[in-house]
C-alpha cells in the first residue's frame, strides 16, 4: 500500500470514528470478541444441557434448508422479472434485497434510490453508507443482517411510492420476512413504518418504541437519508443510536 492509499484509509477511518462519536457510541465491539462471546455462551448452554439430560438445546437450527433455498430462488426470480406495477418501465435494475437469509436482524427501507437502481443492491448510496456504519457500530456487518425495501424498483426521481405500487410489491417483502423469520425488524422511515405498523402516526410519535408485525418486534427509526439531509444534527444521530441500543438489547436477550 502506498502513502496515498494509507492516507485515504486513515481519512475513511477518521470519518467513521467521527460518525460513531456523533451517534453517541460509547465503545466498539471487536467482531472477534463478539464471536468469542457467543462461543462462550454456547459452551455455557452445552454444559447446562449436559448437567441435566432432560434439557434439550432449543436454539434454532442455523442455515438455509434446501427447501428454503428453492423458495428463495423462486422468489428472487419472480422479483427480477416482475412487471406487476409501472415501475418496471423506468427501473435500471431490480433491487430484491441482500444479506443473511437467516439473519436475526432485518432492516426494511422505503425503495431503491439512484445508486441502488444502477447497482441492483439496497442501501449503497450515501444513506446506505450511513446505514452500513450504524450496522458496524452495532458490532455487526452487512453480511450478518438482511436489508430490503418495501418497493423493489426505483420510483422516478425518488418520489414516495404510490399506495398501488406498495400493494403490488408487498407480497415480496412479506415472503422475505416469512422466510428469514428475523428476531427483530428495524423499519427505516415512514413508508416502512406504515407498511409494518399500519396506523402509526408521525415518525416523531412512534420512533424509538417497539411495535409488532406478525409477532416480530419492529423498531421504527429515522431513514438514513433523513440523517444525510440533517448531516450536522447530532441529536437525530443520537436518537437513532438510542433506538439501535434497544434493538441490540433485545437481540442479546
Residue ranges that bind ligand SF4, judged by CB under 6 A: 79, 82-85, 87-88, 94, 151-153, 165, 168-169
Q: How far is the CB of 79 from ligand SF4 (least distance, A)?
A: 5
Exposure of 3 by Cβ count < 10 A (0-12 exposed, 13-18 middle, 19+ buried)?
Answer: exposed
Nearest distance from residue 85's CB to ligand SF4, in Å?
3
Q: Nearer Cβ to ligand SF4, position 87 or 137?
A: 87
Question: How many whole angstroms separate alpha carbon 236 and alpha carbon 23?
Answer: 8
Residue pair 139/34 in contact (Cβ under 8 Å)? The answer is yes
**Strands of 211-213's sheet, edge to edge?**
98-99, 146-149, 105-109, 184-188, 216-221, 211-213
Calpha distance 186→222 (Å, rounded): 10
> Smallest distance from the beta carbon of 64 to ligand SF4, in angstroms?
22
* Cβ nearer to ligand SF4, comparing 165 with 243: 165
Nearest CA-CA partner of 153 in 91, 110, 97: 91
Residue with smaller CB distance to ligand SF4, 82 or 188: 82
| Residue nearer to ligand SF4 on the CB measure, 113 or 211 | 113
Smallest separation, CB 171 to ligand SF4 (Å): 9
Amino acid at each position: 500500500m502506498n502513502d496515498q492509499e494509507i492516507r485515504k484509509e486513515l481519512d475513511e477511518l477518521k470519518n467513521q470514528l467521527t460518525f460513531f462519536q456523533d451517534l453517541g457510541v460509547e465503545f466498539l465491539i471487536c467482531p472477534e470478541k463478539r464471536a468469542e462471546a457467543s462461543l462462550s455462551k454456547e459452551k455455557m448452554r452445552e454444559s447446562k444441557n449436559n448437567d441435566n439430560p432432560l434439557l434439550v438445546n432449543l436454539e434454532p437450527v442455523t442455515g438455509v434448508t434446501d427447501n428454503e433455498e428453492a423458495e428463495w430462488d423462486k422468489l428472487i426470480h419472480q422479483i427480477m422479472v416482475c412487471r406487476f406495477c409501472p415501475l418496471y418501465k423506468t427501473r435500471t435494475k431490480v433491487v430484491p434485497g441482500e444479506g443473511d437469509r437467516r439473519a436475526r436482524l432485518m432492516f426494511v427501507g422505503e425503495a431503491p434510490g439512484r445508486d441502488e437502481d444502477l447497482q441492483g443492491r439496497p442501501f449503497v448510496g450515501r444513506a446506505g453508507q450511513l446505514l452500513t456504519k450504524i450496522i458496524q457500530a452495532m458490532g455487526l456487518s452487512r453480511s450478518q443482517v438482511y436489508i430490503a425495501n418495501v418497493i423493489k424498483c426505483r420510483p422516478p426521481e425518488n418520489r414516495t411510492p404510490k399506495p398501488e405500487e406498495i400493494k403490488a410489491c408487498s407480497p415480496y417483502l412479506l415472503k422475505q420476512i416469512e422466510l428469514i423469520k428475523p428476531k427483530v425488524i428495524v423499519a427505516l422511515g415512514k413508508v416502512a413504518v406504515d407498511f409494518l405498523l399500519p396506523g402509526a402516526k408521525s415518525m416523531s410519535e412512534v420512533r424509538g418504541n417497539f411495535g409488532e408485525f406478525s409477532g416480530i418486534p419492529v423498531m421504527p427509526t429515522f431513514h438514513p437519508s433523513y440523517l444525510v439531509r440533517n448531516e450536522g444534527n447530532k441529536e437525530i444521530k443520537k436518537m437513532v443510536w438510542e433506538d439501535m441500543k434497544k434493538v441490540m438489547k433485545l437481540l442479546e436477550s
